[in-house]
């Protein structure tokens, strides 16, 4: 199924990979982000993949700008069928070292940006009674970790907001669907441009997945949006299950490992650019692409993701094994 799709935060990382994935299937893709160089690169990726691109510079923390972007998409391309909320900004630091304007800015982009995007999409989809909204989430929507209080707070907020909205849509028997995809650690450029007060360079907590894994999950969720959410990566599953069963033990484990695990052995450069207030590619004047600096440690496969997309096949296989086992037991008698 091809359609007109909108991807926020499309200039890099997961958003960039999602845009390419949707373009490869023939979607017309509107790319929303702040950075001019990244948007130009993303638009070229979409065209190279065979899709049509409409890059729009927009700050997702500005609800009027988001609404204007949605209006432009429908005017120039047609009815929006899919909206993927992905844009975010954050700070890596202990809570007491984050300035309040920085915390507010993180919340406005990483949480309210999803609210503004969802509202812009839903106000149009609801009148047509069709459409899909995918929220790119994280294991951190359920499990807070040290040094990312602003980001964890935003992801928790998105989770609660999305659950509330989903129930309202179910009540209305709407054919507009909203689903959420909880991501693991992903190799994106954010670790090289995040506003950080850590002594060493920030890193995703291993195991690390390539953004193409995340993009496949988003595409699948967009095509199967009636499931309330998807978990991507074995690490996400283990984290969420451990948090559900023994959150106190996980608190103590993260207190011991969470600080070191989110930093490399290299000192953080004092002049590292930060994209909290302005796009990072504006500072460097170059497109950063979808991948970060951890290609040598990242995997392009997720057995768990495949399993989550093939419940029926696995169930049938399991049932077949049980039947075969029962038949064997009877024959032995």
Catalytic residues: 151
Rounded Cα distance between 16 and 112, Å, is: 21
Using alpha carbons, list the distances in angstroms from residue 325 to 311, 313, 329, 331. Answer: 21, 18, 6, 10
Q: Which of 139, 313, 167, 151 is nearest to 228 (CA)?
A: 167
256 CB-near residues (< 8 Å, 6+ apart): none
Rounded Cα distance between 279 and 38, Å, is: 9
Residue located via tokens 């291993």: 206
3-state secondary structure (DSSP) of residue 184: coil
CB-CB contact of 110 with 151 (8 Å): yes
The angle that helices 211-223 and 13-24 make with each other, rounded to 10 degrees, is: 50
Q: Which of 174, 175, 205 is nearest to 92 (CA)?
A: 205
Tokens of 8: 């926020």
Rounded Cα distance between 117 and 112, Å, is: 8
* φ, ψ for residue 322, nearest 5 deg: -65, -45
3-state secondary structure (DSSP) of residue 208: strand
Tokens of 326: 């029962």
Q: What share of the chain is helix, strand, coil (3-state, %, to 5)?
A: 55, 15, 30
Using alpha carbons, list the distances in angstroms from residue 65 to 31, 69, 117, 157. Answer: 14, 6, 10, 22
Q: Which of 222, 242, 243, 240 is nearest to 231 (CA)?
A: 240
């Amino acid at each position: 199924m091809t359609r007109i799709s909108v991807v926020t935060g499309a200039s890099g990382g997961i958003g960039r990979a999602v845009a390419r994935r949707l373009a490869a299937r023939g979607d017309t893709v509107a790319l929303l982000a702040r950075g001019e160089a990244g948007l130009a690169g993303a638009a070229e990726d979409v065209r190279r993949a065979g899709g049509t691109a409409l890059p729009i510079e927009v700050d997702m923390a500005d609800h009027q700008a988001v609404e204007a972007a949605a209006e432009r998409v429908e005017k120039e391309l047609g009815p929006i069928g899919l909206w993927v909320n992905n844009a975010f900004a954050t700070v890596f630091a202990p809570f007491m070292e984050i300035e309040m304007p920085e915390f507010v800015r993180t919340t406005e982009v990483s949480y309210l940006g999803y609210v503004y995007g969802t509202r812009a999409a839903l106000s149009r989809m609801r009148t047509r009674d069709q459409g899909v909204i995918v929220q790119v989430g994280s294991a951190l929507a359920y499990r807070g970790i040290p040094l990312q209080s602003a980001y964890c707070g935003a992801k928790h907020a998105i989770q609660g907001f999305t659950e509330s909205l989903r129930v309202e849509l179910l009540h209305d028997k709407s054919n507009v669907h909203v689903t959420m995809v909880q991501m693991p650690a992903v190799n994106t450029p954010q670790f090289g441009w995040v506003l950080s007060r850590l002594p060493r360079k920030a890193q995703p907590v291993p195991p690390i997945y390539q953004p193409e894994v995340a993009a496949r999950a988003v595409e699948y969720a967009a095509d199967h949006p009636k499931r309330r959410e998807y978990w991507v990566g074995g690490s996400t599953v283990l984290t969420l299950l451990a948090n559900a069963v023994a959150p106190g033990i996980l608190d103590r484990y993260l207190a011991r490992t969470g600080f070191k695990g989110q930093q490399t052995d290299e000192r953080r450069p004092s002049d590292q650019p930060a994209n909290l207030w302005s796009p990072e590619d504006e500072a460097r004047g170059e497109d950063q692409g979808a991948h970060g600096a951890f290609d040598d440690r990242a995997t392009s496969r997720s057995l768990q993701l495949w399993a989550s997309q093939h419940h029926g096949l696995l169930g049938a296989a399991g049932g077949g094994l049980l039947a075969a086992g029962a038949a064997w037991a009877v024959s032995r008698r």
